[in-house]
Amino acid sequence: MSAAVELFSEQGFAATTVPQITERAGLTTRTFFRHFADKREVLFGHEDAPTQARAFLAQAPPGMSTAEFIAWGLGLMARERFDGHRDELRVIQALIDSDDSLQERSLRKREMLNSLVGEALRSRGLGEQRARLLAEATVSALYVALDHWLNSDTDVSIDALALKALAGLHADLDGIGTVPRPAPSIQQARRPSSATPN
Amino acid sequence: MSAAVELFSEQGFAATTVPQITERAGLTTRTFFRHFADKREVLFGHEDAPTQARAFLAQAPPGMSTAEFIAWGLGLMARERFDGHRDELRVIQALIDSDDSLQERSLRKREMLNSLVGEALRSRGLGEQRARLLAEATVSALYVALDHWLNSDTDVSIDALALKALAGLHADLDGIGTVPRPAPSIQQARRPSSATPN
C-alpha cells in the first residue's frame, strides 16, 4: 500500500483522507474498506492479520525445540514482513513517531503480538507464565532488532539480529537460577511505601 | 495511603475527590498536593519515585555479576514495595483493572521501570541493546510474578518468583544462539505484505 504511505509522508498522516489514498492508488473507496477498517490499518496490517499469523504459527514443522520454534517464527516474520521493505518501513516508523494515536496503536499491536506468540507457545506445551515471559522476551528482541535494522545499514536480517539479542539475553541470565536471595544492604531512606509497580 | 485506597474501593476511583481523601486521612489538601500531583499518584507512587529508585540502584554492592545485580534489585523492590502489602495491592490491582486511565498510567509506569532498569544496566557496562532487552525481560518477569503472587496464596516472595521465571526463560532460550536460519517451509497463502510489526 505504498500510495498511502507516500501521501502520509508528503502531507502528514492526519491531513490525508481515504479518498485521496484511493485516488492515488487507483482503487474505489469500497475496495479500500473491504481491506482496511480505517487509514491507520494501512500502516498496521489487515484486520485478519492475527488470524493469518495464528494459522502460520500452527504450521511449524513438528519436533522443534522451543528455541528452534522461536528461530523459525522470527525467520518467517522477517521474510513475510521485513526483508526487502526497509525503506518503506523507515517511512512508516517516522510516521508513527510523529503521531500520538499511531504510537498508541503501535503499542496495542505489540501487545497483540505478545498474546499471539504466547498462545502459540502454550499450544506447544509451555505453561502459562513461562509462555508469557518467553513471548514478551521474543517480541522485545524483535523490536530491539527492528530498531537497529531501521537505524543502520546492516546487511544482517532482522531475525538474525533478534536471535543474536536473545543469545545475549541467555548469556546475561546465566546463573540466575542459583543466585541466593541477597541480604538487604540499604537501610537508610526507607519511607512508607506507595506499594505497587503498576 | 490506605485512606485513599479505602475510598477508591468503597465508592470507585472516579467518584472519589481529593478533599474526601484528605478528610479521611486527616490531612490538609495542601499537604496532599505536596506529595502527590493528583489522586492517581496515590496508587502509582510519588513523582520523585524514579529518582529514589535510581539512587537505590546506584548503591548496589560492587563486584556483582549481571545476574546477581538483577537478583539484588528484585529483592530490594520486593522488600520496599511488596512484602507485607499483598492485601492492599490486591485492592489496588482491582482498581486499576476497573479504570482505563489507570490502566494507561500503569503501562506508562511499566515503561518507566523498563527505562530505569535499562539505565542501571548500561551504567554497569552493558551495551544499549543488551541493557534494553535484559531490562524488559526482568520487568516482564516481575509482572508475571506479581500476577501469580496477587492471584494465589503462595508463601514465596515476589523476587523469588521472578527469579524462578527468569531461570525458566534462561532454560527456554538454551541453544538459541546456535539455531541455524531455518529454510522457509510455508509457501502458500503469501500476499503483499503490510510490512510492519509496529
- Which helix or strand (DSSP H or E) is residue A105 part of? helix A100-123
Residue of A nearest to B95 (CA): A198
Q: Which residue has the cell 492471584?
A: B151
Mean pLDDT by 10 residues, chain A (198 residues): 81 88 89 84 74 85 90 91 90 89 86 93 94 97 95 94 96 87 52 45
Q: What global pTM score does this model have?
A: 0.82
Q: Measured on CA atoms in the order B143, A125, A115, A84, is the torsion positive or negative?
A: positive
In angstroms, rounded to a whole number, what is the distance separating the alpha carbons of residues B162 and B140? 9
Q: Which residue has the cell 523498563?
A: B114
Alpha carbon of B134: minimum distance to chain A alpha carbons (Å): 6
Alpha carbon of A147: minimum distance to chain B alpha carbons (Å): 9
Contact A173, B171 (CB under 8 A): no
pLDDT tens for B156-179 read 999 999 999 999 999 999 999 887
A165–B194 C-beta distance less than 8 A: no
Which residue in A106, A166, A170 sits closest to A140, CA to CA? A166
Contacts of A169 in chain B (CB under 8 A): 130, 133-134, 137, 169, 173
Q: Report the residue of B92, B98, B144, B179 to disrupt the A interface, i.e. the one with the largest count of A CBs within 10 Å.
A: B179
In angstroms, rounded to a whole number, what is the distance separating the alpha carbons of residues B91 and A190? 23
pLDDT bracket for residue B46 (50, 70, 90): low
pLDDT bracket for residue B7 (50, 70, 90): confident
Residue of A nearest to B195 (CA): A81
- Within 13 Å, how many C-alpha atoms sit on residue A64's CB side? 21
pLDDT tens for B85-98 read 899 899 999 999 98
B197–A142 C-beta distance less than 8 A: yes
The residue type found at B38 is D
Using alpha carbons, list the distances in angstroms from residue A135 to A128, A180, A188: 11, 27, 38
In angstroms, rounded to a whole number, what is the distance separating the alpha carbons of residues A8 and A20? 10
Q: Which residue has the cell 498496521?
A: A44
pLDDT tens for B108-148 read 889 999 999 999 999 999 999 999 999 999 999 999 999 99
A168–B197 C-beta distance less than 8 A: no
In angstroms, rounded to a whole number, what is the distance separating the alpha carbons of residues B76 and B73? 5
Alpha carbon of A51: minimum distance to chain B alpha carbons (Å): 13
B169–A133 C-beta distance less than 8 A: yes
Q: For Cα atoms A13, A19, A23, give the angle at the middle one, nearest 5 degrees.
A: 105
Q: Which residue has the cell 479518498?
A: A19
pLDDT tens for A51-65 read 888 888 888 888 888
Pick from A44, A46, A148: CB nearest B196: A44
Contacts of A106 in chain B (CB under 8 A): 198
ipTM above 0.85, yes or no: no
pLDDT at position A182 is 61
